Amino acid sequence: MPTATLAPTPACELQPYKSLENDALAARIQAVRDEMGPRLLVLGHHYQQDEVIAQADLTGDSYRLSQLAAENCDCRAIAFCGVHFMAETADILANRPAKLAERGGERVPVILPDLAAGCSMADMAGLAQIEDAWDQLGEVIDTDDLTPVTYINSAASLKAFVGRHGGIVCTSSNAQAAIQWAFARTSRVMFFPDQHLGRNTALGMGVTLDQMPVWDPYADALGGSSTEQLERSKVILWKGHCSVHQMFRPEHVRLLREKHPGIKILVHPECPREVFEMADEFGSTGKIIKTVEAAPPGTKWAIGTELHLVNRLKQQHPEQEIYFLSPVVCMCATMYRIDLAHLCWSLENLAAGTPVNVIEVDEETARWSLMALERMLEVK
């Protein structure tokens, strides 16, 4: 879970905001934005609800928002409409030593409107589990010849582990480049926490399935693999996944192709391999958006990613036929916790000088995490 600093007693309690209509909340949010001007930066992830996205200064996927947090020079507070690992990353980048020096030591507080906005995938790999896996691997293979790569959908503590061990953070946008970076240094890679992104990316680089054992942190020994499997490994995957993208199935692809001849399947690389390999195109949320934007009128798409994003694309591109890949609702339930009530409450407390839900990563964790994140930002 995120680290929240101790704060003064809030000037405003949350409960009354929950009974307000969205129009009233939006007006009050705008009043804070008018008061704070460029000193306030509101970031919104693509999976957010439409009414929250409407309040964001900047929108993007994890990679894009990380860049924006790293580059912004004007803001003095960030409200991150995303989940906890994103807010941690923004805190690390916005308050890195060079930025603190530019501001004379002044920290930029990063606000997560609802501390319950977590990530189930990130929770599938804890620091103690990763350290235990690393120690066990050291009994079988040379961990000096193993580079850890963590998906950005992970806690700051895991990014720090990667930084300490010479590794790199990646996103769905640059996973291949990050793994190539790792292979330039060692003959093996340990990829966590999303097995599907790691597998789909490595397969595209020529790594075979028998060279990619999956480490199960709940197995009795060696993550459920044999010594022989680990010795012939090239990429050691972690038994983790996205709860949204895990739900897309091959039968969903077959059904839509039968119902809509000529339809194109466009999926996120967090989808299982069986779905990923059936797709016509794939990419990060940012790439999915650009792919649809560039398509000619009349193009038919079945898109396998979070529901709010797909519905927004349908609204923005009526000239195309856009379908959700699954007949089952697949939305990011933890992202859904960020609503206008929580955003308004957190912003009004910020304006009143009693900030709530401030995410602040401890100095040591931030230092090592930054090392791994800077490597990510350098890799194209």
Question: Model confidence over 28-55: pLDDT tens digits?
Answer: 999 999 999 999 999 998 888 899 999 9
The first and second tokens of residue 100, run together, are 């603190």
C-alpha closest to that of 45 among 308, 290, 266: 308
For the chain, the structural domain boundaries read 15-118+335-361, 122-238, 245-324
Kindly report the CATH class assigned to 245-324: alpha beta
Contact 127, 158 (CB under 8 A): yes
**For 122-238, which CATH superfamily applies?**
NadA-like (3.40.50.10800)
> What pLDDT sits at residue 268?
96
Q: Angle CA(330)–CA(333)–CA(339) in degrees, nearest 5?
A: 125
For 223-262, write each residue's pLDDT tens digit.
999 999 999 999 999 999 988 898 999 999 999 999 999 9
Contact 252, 327 (CB under 8 A): yes
Q: CATH topology of 15-118+335-361 equal to that of 245-324? A: yes
CATH architecture assigned to 15-118+335-361: 3-Layer(aba) Sandwich (3.40)
Exposure string of 74-88, with b = 16+ CB inside 10 Å and e = fewer, is ebbbbbbbbbbbbbb
Q: What percent of the chain has pLDDT over 90?
A: 83
Instruction: Using alpha carbons, list the distances in angstroms from residue 136 to 149, 187, 209, 239, 340.
Output: 17, 18, 22, 16, 46
Q: What percent of the chain has pLDDT over 70?
A: 96
Strands 168-170, 214-215: pairing is unpaired
Give me the residues paired with residue 300 across strands: 321
pTM of the prediction?
0.91
Peptide bond into 38 cis (omega under 30): no
